[in-house]
A and B are shown apart, each in its own frame.
Chain A
Amino acid sequence: MLRFKQYGIAYLFLAPSLIGLLVFILYPIVDSLYLSFTKWDGLTPIKWIGLDNYRDLLTDDTFKISLINNLYYTAVTVPITIALSILLALVMNVKVRGIKTFRVLYFFPNITASIAVGIIWAAMFTQYGPINTILRFFGASNPPSWLASTSLALPAVMMVSIWKSVGYNAVILFAGLQGVPRQLYEAAELDGAGRFKRFLHVTLPGLSPVIFFSVVTGVIGSFQVFDTVMAMTQGGPGRSTNVLVYYIYNSAFQNYHFGAASAMSYVLFVIILIVTLIQLRVQKRWVTY
């Protein structure tokens, strides 16, 4: 009875958010798992088909193309974003007049709506757009039409994604820099360590927990890329910039294959889970707390 009094009232207070969690998050998660074993077009009765959706994925070319594109996207964007963010964080850390303005400016791409960003960048990448104008100025006689090329469209999307997320990661890393103990730098300096050595042996290890955070969130985010692709290329030309979430969206909301789309979502979930678990394992070797 006392227990109920103690916990019951607590749950009562938690109820508003708890009910929201159950209805809007937990229920869809469980329901989509169920749907992934069914065939459903949104209207006619749901039909149980067991593992067929998953089996079909093995021979689904578009899924394979999307997965490969996505792995390529992750492998390129995450390391480059982190490397650039560290550089930018170091620059932000310099004490110069007006540096605060720059810190804000670098964060700007992150708070801009990604559809707007995508449309503007798509226009910049056109045949006679600003990017090719610059390339021509530097002597490229026949610059590519980026988004019309099956090999360059995805790199163009990657560039925009990197541009968009560098500022955000830099701010987090910049905060991390403030937490590196000053006496370590002093000690290293006394021992005769130069700028580069101090960066390598003091800054990087000191930052490693924050870098780890950026890598994990970056990888998850890169597997979920959608809006930039939607705004810039719609998966084209052909299927050359199709990525997993974009394909899931098309399967569910264009073709009404809700079962297949749910199955793909779960495959994506498992991929992200495995990659994250591996990272949690490996972090013990390089992250110092």
Chain B
Amino acid sequence: MKRLTLSLMVGVTVVGTGMLSACSSGKTDDAQGSANGSAASGKTVTLNYFDWTDEQPYMDQVISAFEKKYPNIKVNASYVPTSDYIQKILVNLSTGGGDMDVFATQSTSNLAEYISKQVLEPLDDLAGSPDLSGIADSIGQLKYDDHIYGLPYRTSKWVLYYNKDMFDKAGVKYPDGTWTWDQYEDASKKLTSGSGQNKVYGSMSYQSDNTWWRVLANIEGASNPLKADELPKFKQALEYYYNLTYTDGAQQPFGELVGNAGADFAGRFLQGSAAMMWNGDWAVQQLNDAIQQKGVKLNYDIAPLPHWKDQEPATTGSFAVIMVNKQTSHMDEAKKFAEFIASEDTAKIIAGNGLLTPWTSDAVKQAYLAKVTTPAHASVFSDNTKVMSQVPMDPLYNQGINIVKEESSLYLLKKQTIDQTMQNIQDRIKKEVK
């Protein structure tokens, strides 16, 4: 009996400590990281950096370049799965944020949210640094209450993708920088053929609860549905998109796309069931992978986005931003790292991985075009078209765009009229967004 009690006690103790150490293990690593840093002033400092997993391939290269340049600063990078990332940052910040010195976000609306919660260090001194003068314009777009709290280091750009074979077959001239959205509509109609399940469409439609149609408003400078004066542009874009589908029959009806997890845009474009689509630069990699690695037959190219009649050509995109936690205990080192991430050196690395940065210098362009050789007109990405920010600096943007999403999907599924839709959006924003 005594032996049983003893062994039970031992068992309980072992399990107990096991649980405790399991709970705290994540913490200790980080704590050690910063302890090492502060203990060795003048020697090596370790920065804790947070990023999402998609960025790991090139950020690992950026970090080793940084550590080479500043041998006494080590960067301990944590890559969090993209879907959990925003919540992870929130948890880090709400628990004092001591274990996080520098972090990134891919949405300027999140940047605005962090600013409004006063967790970021102002980076005005970096913004004026001569090393960053090449992207002064982009930095200026991130101004909030006359201060800069985040530096842009990566960007995206929307262009027009088209299937050359389908254009040749229909005898339609390839799109170029002069196209208006009216011309796009005409071409879409000409490129549509067949019927029923196997119908081929001139233009790509995305699922009804997507808001990709908003790109047509974004290029006119309207990005924030919370601003009543920007809503008419949203309405114009939404109606144009609706007409492409139902009036012209040049896009797949949205009802057919709902619930169809397999029918993503890349798949349908690759299969040749849509001749044109507007999409971001990220689609290049997806299409090229499918063509080069999976042997899909597709002959495509890109062109600048069409523009509205009598308007300047423009495109849209959003910045990924680097920020410094106000509570970091290594402010100087953290700022150095943030500045490095926004610098031209980093831009060359990122461009060399086939992604876009705010930098438009020749060296960065060359690095990009050396990596991205397909499609033929890849240089469209690095040209100097005006880029309108796709996400406004507004912490409440996500709530607003969600309402737009819900209401516009009902319009695109023909459940309510456009006027009703716009009225509902306005009413609900007034009532629900807070």
Chain A positions within 8 Å of B, measured between CB atoms, are 13, 15-16, 41-44, 59-62, 119, 122-123, 125-129, 145-150, 232-239, 253-257
Contacts and interface: CB of A to CB of B under 8 A. Distances in A.
Contacts of A236: 208-209, 258, 406, 409
Contacts of A122: 259-261
Given A42-B90, A128-B197, A237 B410 contact: yes
B402 interface: yes
Contacts of A60: 432
A126 B260 contact: yes
Nearest to A56: B434
B107 to A, nearest CB: 13
Interface stretch (B8-16, B293-301, B381-389): B8-16
B261 A145 contact: no
B413 A254 contact: no
B255 A43 contact: no
Contacts of A15: 12
A237 B209 contact: yes
B261 A148 contact: no
Nearest to B252: A127
Contact of B261 (A119, A127, A146): A119
A237 B259 contact: no
Contacts of A232: 259
Contact of B406 (A119, A129, A239): A239
Given A16-B12, A237-B209, A237-B413, 17 more contacts: A43-B94, A43-B117, A59-B431, A61-B432, A123-B260, A126-B259, A129-B259, A150-B413, A233-B259, A236-B409, A237-B208, A237-B409, A237-B410, A238-B410, A253-B87, A255-B398, A257-B434
Interface in B393-409: 398-399, 402, 406-407, 409
A238 B259 contact: no
Contact of A16 (B16, B94, B197, B407): B16
Interface in B89-148: 90, 93-94, 117-119
Contact of B258 (A44, A237, A257): A237
9 contacts: A13-B12, A16-B12, A119-B261, A126-B256, A145-B258, A148-B255, A150-B415, A253-B87, A254-B402
Grouping DSSP codes into helix (H, G, I), strand (E, B) and loop, the A interface class, with mixed when no group exceeds half, is loop
Contacts of A44: 117-118
B87 A238 contact: no
B426 to A, nearest CB: 14
Interface centre among A149, A150, A238, A256 (most CB of B within 10 A): A238
Interface string B1-29: 00000001000100110010000000000
Contacts, number: 88
A46 to B, nearest CB: 11
A146 B257 CA distance: 11
Contact of A234 (B209, B260, B399, B434): B209
Nearest to A255: B399
Contacts of B398: 254-255
B194 interface: no
B42 interface: no
Interface centre among A125, A127, A150, A254 (most CB of B within 10 A): A127
Nearest to B117: A43
Contacts of A41: 117
A233 B15 CA distance: 42
Contact of A123 (B94, B208, B259, B413): B259
The 10 A-B pairs at the shortest CB distance, nearest first, are namely A148-B255, A122-B259, A148-B258, A147-B259, A145-B255, A127-B256, A43-B117, A238-B410, A147-B258, A126-B260
B79 interface: no
Contacts of B209: 234, 236-237
B254 interface: yes
B410 A150 contact: yes
Contact of B262 (A61, A123, A125): A123
A254 B399 CA distance: 8
Contacts of B94: 42-43
Contacts of A150: 410, 413, 415
Interface centre among B119, B262, B406 (most CB of A within 10 A): B406
Contact of B415 (A129, A235, A237): A237
A150 B411 CA distance: 12
Contacts of B260: 122-123, 126
